[in-house]
Each structure stands twice: as structure tokens, then as C-alpha cells.
Amino acid sequence: MRLDTPPVPSAERVCSDELINLLKLLQPSIRYRHHEPVFTCEQADRHAAGLAGVAAKNLLLKERKGQRYFLLCTDPSQRVDLKGLAALLGCSRLSMASAEELSLLLGTEAGALSLLSLLNDPGHRVEAIVEASLESVPRIQCHPLSNRCTMDVDTQVLWQLLDQRGHIVRWLALP
């Protein structure tokens, strides 16, 4: 999808507090930590000690001409081969989306991106790509639309929530 598609009005977007409350209802055993803002996986790791979920690296990628956008969720230690991934996805070239695109498409900011950000994309402009090795993990660490909090979300709850919102998760063994 092109970025010129109108963004979701801010009044219709899910906010962090609403999302935390929803996840507490869906997963009463959820654990989370509020912390100072984080912008890298290394910073997030320092605050997530004691959470059961597997850490994840999330990148908002775009096709060269901005025709398609992808939220890639992978193991933080995984080096992402953008050229190889572009070939797998049938794209000419992939690059990182800008902070402006992140805000317009998913209503979030750098450091706060997670699969939960897709809840602010009712038009399905962003495609979810998850590294295949994460499919079997029981919990994954996610930021609830804020880089000031980390939650350990039950993956079955996460997949169901995304499915209910019409987001199809595509599992890929990354090159």
C-alpha cells in the first residue's frame, strides 16, 4: 500500500493504556515493566529482566518505491539480509521506513514498534512478517505502543488478536 493512503485518525487509534488493559483481560497472568524510554534492543534487554517472553527485534521496512510496507519481527541476534528478504518477498529492494512513516502508518514512534503496533493499522497497509523460529515460542516481549513499557505476551493471544483484526502473519525462514 502507498503511504498516500490517509492515516487512521489519532482519535481512532489504540493508545498504550487501552492496549495494556485489553491484554490484562485477555491474559490475566501477563507481566510487564514500565521503564525509561528505549530505542534499541540492547536498551530494552536491560529492562526486561525477569519477563518470561522471548525478546524480539522489530523493523518497519518498505519496498523501494513505497508500494508495500512490512513489519519484520525477528530474533534480536538475527542479522537481517535486506537483499535476500526482498527476493523472498518478491520486492525489488527493501529499506528502513522513516520515523514519519512509522508514525503515519502505525501511530507509534522509534523504539515502540512491535507486532502490537498492527492494531493501529485497520487498513492493513503493513504486512506482518515473523521469523519462523519465533512461531513456537510461548511468549514474546512486546512494547504496547510505548517504548516506556515491555510486556511478555502469550503468543497464542497475540496471534488471535492479530487474526481478529484481519492481520495475516507470514512466517518466513530468513535468508
Cα 1 to the chain's mean position, in Å?
Answer: 17
pLDDT 10s digit of each residue in the chain, 175 long?
444 544 444 545 677 888 888 999 999 999 888 888 988 888 888 888 788 889 999 999 999 876 899 999 999 988 999 999 999 999 999 999 999 999 999 999 889 999 999 999 999 999 999 999 999 999 999 999 999 999 999 999 999 999 999 999 999 999 8
Do 75 and 131 meet the contact criterion of CB atoms below 8 Å apart?
yes
Would you tell me how many other CB atoms lie within 10 Å of the CB of residue 175? 13
Q: Which three cell numbers stand for residue 39?
A: 530505542
Q: Which residue, among 105, 170, 118, has the nearest Cα to 144 in the 3D structure?
A: 118
The domains located in the chain, with CATH, are 14-172 (3.90.960.10)
Q: What pTM, to 2 d.p., does this model score?
A: 0.88
**Residues shown for the chain:** 175
